[in-house]
Structure 1
Amino acid sequence: MSQVPLATDHRPDQIPEPRKSLRGHPWLTLFSVAIGVMMVALDATIVAVANPAIQKDLGASLADVQWITNGYLLALAVALITAGKLGDRFGHRQTFLIGITGFALTSGLIGLSSSVAMVIVLRVFQGLFGALLQPAALGLLRATFPAEKLNTAIGIWGAVIGASTAAGPIIGGLLVEHVNWQSVFFINVPVGAIALALGLVILKDLRAEKAPKSFDVPGIALLSAAMFCLIWGLIKAPAWHWSSFGTWAFVGGSVLLFAVFALWESRSREPLIPLGLFRSVPLSAGTVLMVLMAFAFMGGLFFVTFYLQNVHGMSPVSSGVHLLPLTAMMIVASPVAGALITRFGPRIPLVGGMLFTAVAMIGMSRLTADSGTAATSLWFALLGLGLAPVMVGATEVIVGNAPLELSGVAGGLQQAAMQVGGSLGTAVLGAVMAARVDNQLPSRWAAAGLPKLPPAQAAQASDAVAVGVAPVPPHAPVQLATTITRVGHETFVSGMGLSFTVAAVVAAVAAVVAFFTKRGANADAAGGSVHI
């Protein structure tokens, strides 16, 4: 299959050499953008720990608390590709600095909020500013680093994201427990100020000669609407159920809007996403791979927190500590993966990484309610080892196979693929868990000699067990409570095992997709043709 015309005709002497001054220095650029991206990645998980305290302090309902998270995720997912296009048009330095400033400002205002409505509104703005940051960071790395060091840089960038995401529950738990929930947001203010100061001094505005000069406004509107319908449908699917009209109305609406978007893009003079970009088989494979990886990883990890906290009775901080083998392995393995991909190309590390991920998922599917720390740590570490090369390699494949003038769009595409994959994995595996619990709980309940529950109570019991909570009634005798707890936890673990098995199959499919990846077509001209 033919590829779109890429920047492969640039001469090697056009590749920017590492700069000796502070401004535009590749490694200092990496350090600067890593601090900003760390703030966004940390925020993706740190807020979940603060939600109960916010609910209590502001008198929020369950729906309000869900919107604190969903509003942020929706804004982030919807705006990523458009934000990348803004960076391609106006410069990634500018969009990065605006993103940093806005993210830190909204964080501080959330900490000062006295109503849950204000928190939700500001979280939406926080998601929009966060969307500016991530594609801009990749665009800056793509334009700054020479080809032979780009993968190593992306490896370090991936390690920062992995470490920050996993550290969220630990840091959030400590802050909520020892300070207050507002401190979870206030911490972004000094971090953002440091990132802004470094960015003003270090980041250099490098733009491609063929940078876009106009905006595809109808394309932006269509893509934003399509992404909103898809992500919203996936977020609400567990509550609405997959058989409901609402779920399929949003999912079906997103498919229709994506089709209209594709038709419009094929006729637009300067499209938001040139469809010819996807004629590159490696880029398309990298995008699909990112979706499948996020499906298996985020969908599977969704149940791990319930398993540790509700089955094993750990606090959020303690459960975060138990995930450290996963975090540590990603931190160590990501830069190593970048070096291996630079030397051997992405195909072998990506295939191997997804196979390791599949094996880890199979191992986690065999966990029981009584599994100890040694067993969980082994599989968490193997999962980190498998994910590291995929995070690095798939990112390089997507960004490296796009022309320099579309590096922001490619960065947005990479992040959007992760958001879609994570939302899809959480929704689908959540449905798998619910179906297994609904199927097994009644028979296990009866086999344990427990009294039959009325339909309404049985439904409530299934909902509780689906997140690892034993539906023990108040003031239940010790023996009855013990039996209900055993049945509930065993049923949950059975559902978790099936969910991890599905995730393992998805990871194996991703390993096949990885065979179609190759080194970025622009990797030999990583700097492309730029002007300052």
Structure 2
Amino acid sequence: MQGWWERVWVGGRPWWILAVVQFGNLMPSMDGSMVAIALPSMAAGTGIPLSTLQWVATIYYLVSAVVVLIAGRLGDLLGRSRVFTFGFVLFTAASLGSATVPGLPGLLACRVLQAIGGACLVANGNAIITSTFTDGRRGFALGLNSTILAGGVALGFLVGGLLTDGFGWRSVFLVNLPVGAAAIALALAVLPARKGPAKPFRFDWIGSALLALAVCGLLVGLQRLGAQRAPTAEVLGLLGGGAAALLALLAVERRTETPLLPLAVFGHRNVAVGLAAIALFCSLLAASGILLPLYLQGVLGIGAAQAGLALAPYSVTMCILAPFSGILAERFNAAWMMAGGALLAMAVSIGYAFLGVSAPLTAVALGQLLIGLAAGVFFAPNRVLLFAGLPDGFLGVVSGLMQLTRQLTYAAAIALSTLAVAVAVEPHGRLSDLSSAGTVPPAAKLAMTEAMGAVYVVLAGLLAGAAVLCLWHAHTRRRASARLVTSVRESTS
């Protein structure tokens, strides 16, 4: 019996750690889609207008974007297990509050706390995996992260719909209680405690305040740009203020003893290349999330359910492939694999640019299958590249930077894609009419298709840039390794 226990619990401890990290990925990723699908029921049950209840989702998104880098840095300084477990406790407790608190102000306050807890989980999961798996299993573990994060969003819509229909909107929060309790118990049992007290440090309050101003200014400014469909004074003020706060943050961090954002991390070329590649690749995913539903329903005239089925191959393919591409990234050059994924996505973007007003539905579905393949080949190797050779003290901050880069990219791509389509369509009809094919004038359909084609041409250019960047990185790294081997051989001969 003792031998069985040692094999399953002690010998399998890394896999138990991987399991608890996946709980930390699954809960926040499902939460967003569960809450989104429960909002109409929430409006009906509380009498609060749906337009006002959108803040229940928006405030979580904003706070999470602000806190994710801070949470990653605190994990580096205080201990990742400690911050990660705290994230479970706070997320679970705030879920209970969200389900029971009366009134919108209390619900929004609980959503702020829930966002902080979720950020603690998402920001430290990759770092925990990287420090736990130091051999060839790391790629599989990081790839599984990509699978759970992507699959959690899709699963959240299904589970959230079933819970809302069966038990009411409060159930989408209450379901987190048993899951959170199990995750807390498992985290306390398996996550390694930090040896010795944390090193004393002075928290970077100025850097955190500037980061909050920068992220809020940029995210809200981009959201307003998409909503107002013009660079108004409000939009320019928000974006300008966010950019100014970002520049001030970079200036302050150069002189801070324990900075929130240690600029030395960008001296690691894997990090700089990995983050840039994420931004370029995610622009395609974000823009497609806006463009393709409008095209399928407004131009091709199919229903929402059929449109969802046409878009589903992306998530399925990506989720299946990511862990296996992570394994390959540990054995081969991760940057080469990223370049391959970017090139495949570029080819699909070019194809989407020529869809026209009467393309077959199978063309869109095939494109989604190929983009899922490209993403599966790209994201897990990207994580392997980002964390390869990174000092332990930078793992959390890089994990936070990765999440923040994705969020800012999504906001920018969604706003600019919406703006491009609105400018083209609205001389011929309302953009909202694209949700109903029967009311869309032919001129509006043609304008939508042409604008979408132009956006996809731009996206193809961005993906080509990502591929070139990854190929350059892989080539120069290989040459540097070859020179090092030659130098070692000459010195020992």
Deviates more, 1:305-314 or 1:411-420: 305-314
| Aligned residue number for residue 328 of structure 1 | 316
* The one of 467, 487, 492 aligned to 1:511: 467
Question: C-alpha separation between the residues in 2 aligned to 1:212 and 1:141?
Answer: 25
| Aligned residue number for residue 7 of structure 1 | none
Cα offsets for 1:351-392 (capped at 9, x unmatched): 011111222233334445655553232111111111123221
| Aligned residue number for residue 129 of structure 2 | 141
Cα offsets for 1:15-63 (capped at 9, x unmatched): xxx9974498222211111022111112233322222222333233354
Deviates more, 1:305-314 or 1:263-272: 305-314
Alignment of 1:290-369 (within 5 A): 290-308=278-296, 312=301, 314-315=303-304, 319-367=307-355
Q: Secondary structure at the match of 1:148?
A: coil
CA-CA distance at 1:306 after TM superposition: 4.0
Q: Do structure 1's residue 462 and structure 2's residue 424 form an aligned pair?
A: no
| Aligned residue number for residue 55 of structure 1 | 43
CA-CA distance at 1:399 after TM superposition: 2.8
Question: C-alpha separation between the residues in 2 aligned to 1:252 and 1:115?
Answer: 35
Question: C-alpha separation between the residues in 2 aligned to 1:388 and 1:211?
Answer: 39
Q: Report sequence identity in percent.
A: 28
Q: Secondary structure at the match of 1:270?
A: coil
2:432 maps to a residue whose letter is A
Structure 2: unaligned runs, 5 residues or longer: 1-5, 481-493
User: CA, structure 1 residues 402+485, in 2 after alignment: closer, same or farther (shift >3 Å)?
Assistant: same
Question: C-alpha separation between the residues in 1 aligned to 2:422 and 2:283?
Answer: 17
| Aligned residue number for residue 256 of structure 1 | 244
CA-CA distance at 1:261 after TM superposition: 1.2
Q: Do structure 1's residue 108 and structure 2's residue 96 form an aligned pair?
A: yes
CA-CA distance at 1:339 after TM superposition: 1.4
| Aligned residue number for residue 477 of structure 1 | none
- Higher relative CO (CA 8 A, sep ≥ 6), structure 1 or 2? 1
User: CA, structure 1 residues 19+135, in 2 after alignment: closer, same or farther (shift >3 Å)?
Assistant: farther
User: CA, structure 1 residues 55+495, in 2 after alignment: closer, same or farther (shift >3 Å)?
Assistant: farther
Given the two structures, how large is their TM-score scaled by the length of structure 2? 0.87
Question: C-alpha separation between the residues in 2 aligned to 1:373 and 1:182?
Answer: 37
Alignment of 1:423-438 (within 5 A): 423-438=411-426
Q: Do structure 1's residue 284 and structure 2's residue 272 form an aligned pair?
A: yes
| Aligned residue number for residue 200 of structure 1 | 188
Contact 2:425/2:444 (CA < 8 Å) preserved in 1?
A: no
Contact 1:30/1:157 (CA < 8 Å) preserved in 2?
A: no
CA-CA distance at 1:516 after TM superposition: 4.7
User: CA, structure 1 residues 56+499, in 2 after alignment: closer, same or farther (shift >3 Å)?
Assistant: farther
Question: C-alpha separation between the residues in 2 aligned to 1:216 and 1:224?
Answer: 12
Q: Secondary structure at the match of 2:254?
A: helix
Q: Secondary structure at the match of 1:214?
A: coil
User: CA, structure 1 residues 57+80, in 2 after alignment: closer, same or farther (shift >3 Å)?
Assistant: same
Question: C-alpha separation between the residues in 2 aligned to 1:355 and 1:91?
Answer: 39
Question: C-alpha separation between the residues in 1 aligned to 2:353 and 2:107?
Answer: 38
List structure 1 segments (4+ residues) > 6 angstroms apart after TM superposition.
207-212
* The one of 392, 400, 405 aligned to 1:404: 392
Contact 2:91/2:117 (CA < 8 Å) preserved in 1?
A: yes
1:427 maps to a residue whose letter is A
Question: C-alpha separation between the residues in 2 aligned to 1:333 and 1:71?
Answer: 33
Question: C-alpha separation between the residues in 1 aligned to 2:397 and 2:334?
Answer: 21
CA RMSD of aligned residues (A): 2.9
User: CA, structure 1 residues 214+363, in 2 after alignment: closer, same or farther (shift >3 Å)?
Assistant: same
| Aligned residue number for residue 90 of structure 1 | 78
Question: C-alpha separation between the residues in 2 aligned to 1:122 and 1:309?
Answer: 36
Contact 1:72/1:124 (CA < 8 Å) preserved in 2?
A: yes
Structure 1: unaligned runs, 5 residues or longer: 1-17, 443-460, 471-480, 522-532
CA-CA distance at 1:79 after TM superposition: 0.6
2:303 maps to a residue whose letter is M
Deviates more, 1:169-178 or 1:32-41: 169-178
